Structure 1
Amino acid sequence: MTNWFHSWRAAVRIARRDAWRFKGRSFLVLAMIALPILGVSAADLTLRSSELSTQEKLERSLGAADARLSDPELGGAAILQSPDAENYAPAKDYENAPWPSGGTDVSKAVPAGGTTLVDSSGGAKLRTAHGLLQTEIRELKAADPMARGIMTLQQGHFPKKSDEVAATTAFLEASGLKVGQTLTARGFDRTYRIVGAYELPSDLKNSQVNALPGAFLAPYGKALEAAGLQSQGVSTTYLLKIDGGFTWNMVVETNKKGVLVASAAVQLNPPADADVPLFQKEGWNNYELSAGAQAAALAAIGTVVGLAMLEICLLAGPAFAVGARRSRRQLGLVGANGGDRRHIRAIVLAGGLVIGVAAAVIGTVLGIVLTFALQPVLEDSMGKRFGSFDVRPLELLGIALLAVLTGLLAAIVPAITASRQTVLASLTGRRGVRRSSRVLPVVGLVAVATGAAIALYGSVVSDQFVIVAAGSALAELGVVALTPALVGLFGRLGRWMPLSPRLALRDAVRNRGRTAPAVAAVLAAVAGTVAVATYAASRDAQDRATYRAELPYGAVSVMIDEDGGRDVPAVREAVQRHFPVDLRADVDRIAVGKANCSSMYSGEKGCGRYEIVVPKANVCPLWASTTDGSDPSERFTKEQRRDLAKDWRCASSNEGGAYIEGGLLIADAKLLKILGINDSAAEKALADGKIVSFDKRQLDKAGKIGIKLITDTEAADRASEKGLEAPGETKTFGTYLMPDGTKSYGLSGVISPATAKEAGLRAVPYGAFYSTDQMPSSEQRQKLDAEIARIGSAANLHLEEGFVSKNSIVLLALTVFAGLITIGAAGIATGLAQADAEADLKTLAAVGAPPRVRRTLSGFQCGVVAAMGVVLGSAAGVLPAVGLRLTEERQELKFYQQALDGGWGGVNPPHVPIVVPWETLAALLVAVPLGAALLAALVTRSRGALARRAAT
């Protein structure tokens, strides 16, 4: 035991001295290992610090209160909830029964002896230094001890009077206002003074204004209603303080009253799952909390860490090998003085241990320091404050041990190689004749064949991509095992090359122990990049084929459905002013009931809706309403559903386009021209008082369309649930049906303003459509966005730019990433090759080789490693992408068959193409090796140091 300890201590001392003597090589390997450790440790600290404890979460959501009571908006029905109040469901099954109507009076659920604090939220358009800003208004007495912790005061004080408000720092920054200035809202003549600035610790980017309860929202809503405008909804919750806390039994009893409860006591000490009625409810899915989800997450993390370690080992291994060869005389002296092979191995492994420990210490310390120094920046970018600077020693120790393990793994192969050299070869500097392993290529071939077979099985037979990933990984490892043999095959190309590339190839083949790991590292990086790039390019092709344009290319639409169209004229003119408009078509919508309803499906009091009547003969049998509320498709067999899915009545009309409530717009013939419809008969039909229709299902036998005006929406909903016709007045219009195949861009029909007025339909300004003579520039869009922001309207603006690839930046980033890894790995291999082949370079100089040979040789050495790695990586990377696409194709075909069996109309056969990104491959295959070679040639000195005669 003592001998083992002393021998290892001596080995560590020798390794430490050797690392200090060769600082450049040691720093290179240390940085290679320390940088990932720095990133992982910083990520761990950031994640743990931002991960709030239950107590910290409760402080930010409940303050010092014991519970928060809120209305889940389920009509007052009894509910079941989870202990954390994040999930809830009605206690009763309402699948075949009508939902209860009305709301829940939360105040009546407050237990006796409890003290409450009202917390209400709504919205308002506030006047700022730049115009108007839609802002959340929160009425909460923030200075009350019960609310302590919900808001963090930054400046001034919280409101004490009804005409005072405080604002978040995000609002002040966005609005251009400051503490001490006044604040007003649009349509509201009351003035408020900003007396304080605060922040929400868990939502730093939220623009919010705080007022006392009843000081803003109620009078603001009354002012809007008096002006005939629609006030925004207000949600109210109650913070509760009660002796003894709010227990789980109290939560269950309160749920019976239709009230949701977030309890501090329950979340700090949650009940067992068996005591939670929600978790016992059939169909409840709690996958995120299951062991399977945690295992999947751990598997993903393990895969990433494993690949990172493999990459580092492949790059650091050659450095240790060169270091061992540079120290072979020293190792020979150890053997000459009685040291055996295990001592040699110990010295080389100790080198990995020393570098690994140094990398672990430096990387961990730098990770802690950088995270602490950048904490404000990290908090701002994440949008929330850390709970505390959470340093977990065991996790950091585990990360540090990862660095030590990586250093040891990288030194294993060089240690075994160095220990096999004879003492005489080490002392004389002769390398001897080294034969390549004959077993490793066989193992590699078997792994490639087996991995390819597994990946093929996973993509063609199984639906599990895990099988494809496992097979692809095995095949890639097989290619790595084949790398030394493949390097030898590349070397045969040297006979047809000039001097410098021939020397570079010969050097790569002779020193496969140094070349193969570097090539394998490049291979791994390029394979991953090619796999992701191939998948991304294939998805792009699929998305392009399934893309549905909302408008013709270059056309613009703007829609506003709030405040009864009050801001529509101003927004129309703003678009006309800033965009290169060729033609403009103003559009209106049909309003039933109050004109200022935010939506015809909003259910607001006094707001009705309209429906285009579909004759019963044209209704798809799969969608027809039933009197008992059952699924109509269940009346048919699978074969009948497949046939009905192809029926014209069941075809989907969703071909893309802007969402238009009811599908009908009031507009003139200019709208048809903007939509690319050049049909003189359609224009004449509009002028003659007919509706231009894009859906033949809406036409009755006489070729007319009926529009039903529904004023009592609740009665209409009850009739619909019973399969009855909704009550309301129906107006009939003549129709011109557009030919099949005409793109409607989401429209079901167009009616002229004159026809609508004559029929008694009330029109409300809705927006406009525009055609442009050229694509608006970025500057023009920014100016328009700024003016719309000043108007303060929630306008839905769309500019049709056609299909825009979301992966172009991703592909570029992947190409740059793979290029940097390739150049870095090739550069490392080249630097090691120069250090290892210094004697050969001196020999070249001695026999009269020009100085430029050294530079060109260095460039070709780097280019050879890069080229070999890129070629092999490109071939290996296509397999997993193809396997994934084939798996997705099988899954989509399965879904398509299920859709046909279910009778779903308008479902098209899947289109899952496989596209190879030739641009990315060309950049990797040509530009990267060429760039690596040129860079290596530029940074290499033409003349080396003068050779000194070795002592004999």
Structure 2
Amino acid sequence: MSALRVALRLARRNAWRSRGRSVLIMVMIGLPVLVITGVFTLTETMSVSPREGLVTELGTADARLLQTPEGTVLQQEPNGTSWNTGGPAAPKLGTAEVAALLGPGARVIPFSTGEIRLGGERVDLMETDLRDPLTRGMLTLSEGRLPAGREVAVTPALGLRPGDLLRLPGAAPLTVVGVVEHPFQPSLREVVGLDLPLTPPDDFVSPTMYGTGWLADTAKPVSWSVIPTLNRAGLYVTSHATILTSPRAVIRLASMGVQETVGLGAMVIMVVLETVLLAGPAFAVGLKRRRRELAEIAAQGGSAGHLRTIVLTDGLVLGGAATLVATVLGIGAGTLGAQVVTRWGGQVGPAEVPWGPVLGVAALGLIAGIVAALVPAVQAARQDTATVLAGRAPATADRPGWPLAGAVLVLAGLGATVVARRQSGSAWVWAAAVLVMIGLVVLTPWLVRFTGRVATRLRLPLRVSVRDAVRHRSRTASAVAAVMAVTATVVAMGIGAQSEYMDRRNAYTSARPTGMLAIWGGTMADATWNKLRAVAARQLPGVPLAAGYQARDAQDHRYALRYTVRWNGARTRRTAAIGDRALLSLLQGRDDPRAAAALASGKAVVFDASAVRDGKLTLRASSTSGPARKLEVPAVAATPADEHQGGALLPRALVEQAGFTAAERQLYAMYRPPADSTLWRDLGKVTSRVTFATEEGYRNTPDPGLWGWLGGALVLVVGGTLTATRLAAADMRPERATMLAIGAPPGTLRMVVAGQALYISGLGALVGLVAGTVTGVALSRPMTTYGDGDPATIAIPWPFLIAVVVGLPVLATVAALITRTRLPLVRRLV
């Protein structure tokens, strides 16, 4: 029987005999594998490729054609789509003209899409006949029947049932006769019918935009040779044949940039390092228990290589089992998680597993298990057989060159961090952090010995704990380094995330104060606007309404008057409002006689003080259909209602002096519509060209995932600390037996064990705090800056750091304090 086969059998028997330790090791190794595999599977499952979504896009049709707005020059090619505006106007096509373009035997049905606001939320509209065979497969009927004229079907997310009435703005009430489901988007809010209030778009934004279109059944496949002709007619084409013949996108490592490769490498090193440091103490526990067994093997002729192989096979067996179980659970969690996540938004396709990355992660877990057993394997090969068989603890000695090497690595990492902080991405910062972390791991035995000098000043239980930790530095250093690595990573993520949140909060800006309602009218006749204004005044009784105006030239082209200013270090473009003193009072939240006098004298009132230079404000008047102009107007700076508010207000007289006319097309009020308000619906009945918005202020909250990191750190820090504490308790049995023999109470023995947990977790947390702070501060620059001149935002999440650096060591100590520590009889040599 080969030595490897014998070692595998011994590893299997040892894993089964120490089931608790084996499960702990498997959890430490398998947890990263499970999480990463789950994320890969979830991402792949939630990604619906064009081929997978072909039926929902086209049904059984050969092509879908979208009519682009007038003046759009469109060109589709296999390698992409390009378009621009300003070209010659293409004639509007009807169903018969589209069928003629597709050739003899083509059958075409209308298929148009759009969106509308319903109850303050966006709802998709699809205008087509779901009873036609060409639409089969797009949506699945789950209740009722498919709609005919003046009837609609809705998706489950709208909460309507067959028999309910649906009131869409700008349309008569429609009867809901069916509930349909989208195969890949369970949270989709959509209404489908034959007669819906669709508004043609003003501009061609993207190929997936809404608009008027058709589904076509053709005699021949719509290939790339036919598409240019359809493009010249103003039709964007989605073809069944071109999608099937297009090559599938494959992500290759070679296509990654240098920064992405560095970031991936840093992540791999950190995952392996964390896993090795966490599982290392547990393997050391196994080595402690097997020293006598290994010594007996050595006494019977086993070589140092045989002993190394036996311990390394522990890592192979446990790492392989952990990786296998974690991979299976990760695939299952990712598949089920995709179904759950899409209930709140997004899409989900058929269950898919990216086998390349998943197998790579599995190999990473297996390697981590073997590497975690490497140090115990070296120790097993070097142990003195006679010493172990005699029951004495093996002596340990420090390597004098290691502290110097660790210090060099730390200094090199700090220098790299300073350089990486100036780079555009965060991958270089993490790469430098890996260098610092490896240096600290190498320095940890020296730190343990150095901090052990304080033991003489401690009370007896803590003094015994610290001295034992120093005496068994190889065991203690691994646990301290594990806590340090986890703490440093979590602290760095916390500072980076908090800095990014504060930067976004500081960067938030608005042209209106919080709580202001804005109603804007687009291109419409004066009579329509007057009717819209009357409806708004009737729906808002007692609410003061301030008027705003549009700037138009002699050809009746609408113009926007804009200026550029720096806000929180970033260039921000603002549109100046046009109004009188009533609007000024709303924008300032009070009456400001100085600003009102300036407005009355024909000056602009600006809420961005930096935009006013030498008493002037520079504006750019731009239009989609007229030539741009540059204006320089007199201005004064004023204080807005909110600190995050900017913008400017121009008097009508100033706009008219610049050669424009001012037409009232805006209404403003300090009013928050209640949830059951019918204001949106009533205004939409007048015209579909009305838009409205309520300024809610900055609504984002700090990243809740930050506390998820705290939960992960809780598991890793407490688990790693208790594992090392258990090993310490096993090593300290003779000392505790002596203390018990001379009358030490059980509480003192528990304090000795808890002292080990406090020392390990406390030292690791303090060192991790320093390392994590350096990395977090460095991360804040690439995460919060967007170009030259933009200062970095550095924010410290103090509650989070206290919970990590103080709370976790205290929790680990309490867990060790209440853990039952049995003390069997110890054999003594006389």
Q: Which TM-score bucket, shorter chain as reference? A: 0.7 to 0.9
**Partner Cα distance (2:538, 2:444) in 1:** 67
The secondary structure found in structure 2 opposite 1:933 is helix
1:858: which partner in 2?
A: 753
Alpha carbons of structure 1 residues 568 and 337: separation in structure 2 relative to 1, 3 Å: farther
CA distance in 1, matches of 2:214, 2:411: 65
Please, which of 747, 754, 764 is the counterpart of residue 869 of structure 1? 764
C-alpha change, 1:356 and 1:809, in structure 2 (3 Å) is closer
CA-to-partner distance for each residue in 1:421-445, whole Å, 9 max, x for gaps?
Answer: 1221232232232101223222212
Q: State the Cα distance separating 1:314 from its structure 2 match.
A: 0.7
Question: Deviations 1:534-576 (Å, cap 9, x if unpaired)?
Answer: 3345456655665546556xx5211122584867788789889
Q: Distance between the aligned counterparts of 1:51 and 1:264, measured in 2? A: 19
1:560 is the counterpart of 2:547: no
Letter in 2 for 1:557: M
Residue 507 of structure 1: how far off its partner (Å): 1.9
561-570 vs 104-113, greater mean Cα deviation: 561-570
Equivalent residue number for residue 688 of structure 2: none
Deviation digits for residues 910-935 of structure 1, max 9, x if unmatched?
43354555554444443332332223
User: Residue 400 and residue 464 in structure 1: after superposition, are their counterparts in 2 closer, same or farther (change >3 A)?
Assistant: closer
1:848 pairs, out of 736, 739, 743, with 743
1:119 aligns to 2:111 (yes or no): yes
2:184 match: secondary structure: coil
Query: What amino acid maps onto 2:443 in structure 1?
Result: L
1:380 matched to 2:339? no
- For residue 766 of structure 1, what is the amino acid of its counterpart? L
Q: 2:677 aligns to what?
A: 787
Distance in 2, matches of 1:211 and 1:680, equals: 56
Query: Which letter does structure 2 place at the counterpart of 1:138?
Result: M
Given candidates 206, 212, 219, the residue that maps to 2:188 is 206
Which residue number corresponds to residue 178 of structure 1? 161
**Residue matched to 1:137:** 125
TM-score w.r.t. structure 1 length?
0.72
Match of 1:668, as an amino acid?
Answer: A
Deviations 1:345-376, CA, capped at 9 Å, x for gaps: 12211211221222133223333454566664
The question of 1:194 aligning with 2:176 is answered yes
- Asked whether 1:414 is paired with 2:394, we answer no
**Are 1:675 and 2:588 an aligned pair?**
yes
Structure 2 vs 1, CA of residues 607 and 741 (structure 1 numbering), >3 Å: closer, same or farther?
A: closer
1:927 corresponds to which residue?
Answer: 807
**Secondary structure of 1:235's aligned partner:** coil
Matched to 1:179, the amino acid is: P
- Residue type of the alignment partner of 1:518: A
Alignment of 1:727-746 (within 5 A): 739-743=636-640, 745-746=646-647
Question: 2: CA distance between counterparts of 1:290 and 1:118?
Answer: 44
Matched to 2:462, the amino acid is P
Report the Cα distance in structure 1 between the residues aligned to 2:27 and 2:590, rounded to whole angstroms.
Answer: 64
Residue matched to 2:38: 42
The alignment partner of 1:56 has SS state of coil
Residue identity (%): 28
> How far did 1:497 drift?
1.0
Match of 1:89 among 83, 87, 100: 83
CA distance in 1, matches of 2:296, 2:231: 82
Sort the Cα spacing of 1:543 and 1:432 in 2 relative to 1 into closer, same or farther, 3 A: same
C-alpha spacing 1:202/1:393, structure 2 compared with 1 (3 Å): closer
Amino acid at match of 1:821: L
Distance 1:785 1:411, change over 3 A: same
Is 1:503 aligned to residue 485 of structure 2? no
Whole-Å Cα distance in 2 between the matches of residues 339 and 120 of structure 1?
Answer: 80
For each residue in 1:352-406, what CA deviation from the matched residue of structure 2 results, as whole angstroms up to 9, or x when unmatched? 122122213322333345456666424424532322x335667655544433322
Among 604, 607, 632, the alignment partner of 1:693 is 604
- What amino acid is aligned across from residue 163 of structure 1 in structure 2? R
Q: What are the equivalent positions in structure 2 for 1:197-596 lying under 5 Å apart?
A: 197-212=179-194, 215-217=195-197, 235-270=211-246, 291-293=254-256, 300-371=263-334, 376-381=339-344, 383-387=346-350, 389-390=351-352, 397-459=359-421, 466-539=427-500, 548=509, 550=511, 556-562=515-521, 564=529, 585-590=544-549
Any gaps of 5 or more consecutive residues in structure 2?
201-208, 522-527, 609-614, 684-690
Paired residue secondary structure (1:55): coil
**SS of residue matched to 2:675:** helix
Change (3 A) 1:403 1:760: closer
2:51 matched to 1:55? Answer: yes
CA distance in 2, matches of 1:417, 1:654: 60
Give the letter for the 2:749 counterpart. Answer: R
Shift of 1:746: 2.0
Closer/same/farther in 2, CA of residues 678 and 816 from structure 1, 3 Å limit:
farther
TM-superposed CA distance for 1:724, in Å, is 11
Whole-angstrom distance in 2 between the partners of 1:928 and 1:311: 17
1:824: how far off? 3.1
Please say if residues 452 and 475 of structure 1, whose CA atoms lie closer than 8 Å, have aligned partners that are also in contact: yes
Matches within 5 A, 1:630-641: none
Contact preservation (8 Å) 2:476, 2:760 = yes
Distance (Å, rounded) in 2 between the aligned partners of 1:795 and 1:495: 72
Please give the alpha-carbon distance, in whole angstroms, between the structure 2 residues aligned to 1:383 and 1:885. Answer: 30
Counterpart of 1:646 in structure 2 is none
- For residues 685 and 27 of structure 1, the distance between their equivalents in structure 2, rounded to whole angstroms, comes to 76
Q: Deviation string for 1:106-137 (max 9, x for gaps)?
A: 864632123223211234566xxxx7876333
> What's the counterpart of residue 822 of structure 2?
944
- Structure 2 vs 1, CA of residues 456 and 765 (structure 1 numbering), >3 Å: closer, same or farther? closer
> Out of 5, 13, 19, which is 1:9 matched to?
5
CA deviations over 1:175-221 (Å, ceiling 9, x no partner):
xx2123343434544x5332221122233322211113xx3348x99
Q: C-alpha deviations, 1:290-327, integer Å up to 9, x for none?
A: 95447765654454343222211111111111211111
Q: Are the aligned partners of 1:325 and 1:418 in contact in 2 as well (CA < 8 Å)?
A: no
What is the identity, as a one-letter code, of the residue corresponding to 1:260? Y
Preserved CA contact (<8 Å) 2:45 2:335: no
1:68-98 per-position Cα deviation (integer Å, ceiling 9, x unaligned): 2223436142x3334376x4234xxx8xxx5
* 1:153 maps to 2:141: yes
Paired with 2:509 and 2:735, the residues of 1 have a C-alpha distance of 64
Aligned partners of 1:119 and 1:238 also within 8 Å:
yes
**Following the alignment from structure 1 to structure 2, what is the Cα–Cα distance between the partners of residues 847 and 463?**
64
The SS at the match of 1:785 is coil
Match of 2:63 among 61, 64, 67: 67
- Cα RMSD between the aligned structures? 4.5
Task: Tell me the TM-score normalized by structure 2.
Answer: 0.82
Contact 2:607 2:646 in 1 (8 A): no
Unaligned runs of 5+ in 1: 222-232, 273-285, 578-583, 593-599, 613-622, 624-649, 698-702, 726-734, 771-780, 897-908
Distance 2:712 2:537 in 1: 45
3-state secondary structure, aligned to 1:35 = helix
User: CA–CA distance in 1 between the matches of 2:35 and 2:735?
Assistant: 39
**How many correspondences in the alignment?**
788
Aligned-partner SS, 2:296: helix
Match of 1:636 in 2: none
Conserved in 2, the CA contact under 8 Å of 1:360 and 1:403?
A: yes
Please tell me whether residue 796 in structure 1 is matched to residue 709 in structure 2: no
One-letter amino acid of the counterpart of residue 929, structure 1: P
In structure 1, C-alpha distance between the alignment counterparts of 2:508 and 2:228, rounded to whole Å: 48
Q: CA distance change for structure 1 residues 881 and 34 in 2, over 3 Å: closer, same or farther?
A: closer
**Which residue of structure 1 aligns with residue 151 of structure 2?**
164
Instruction: Decide whether aligned partners of structure 1 residues 611 and 70 sit closer, same or farther in structure 2, where only a CA change above 3 A counts.
Output: closer
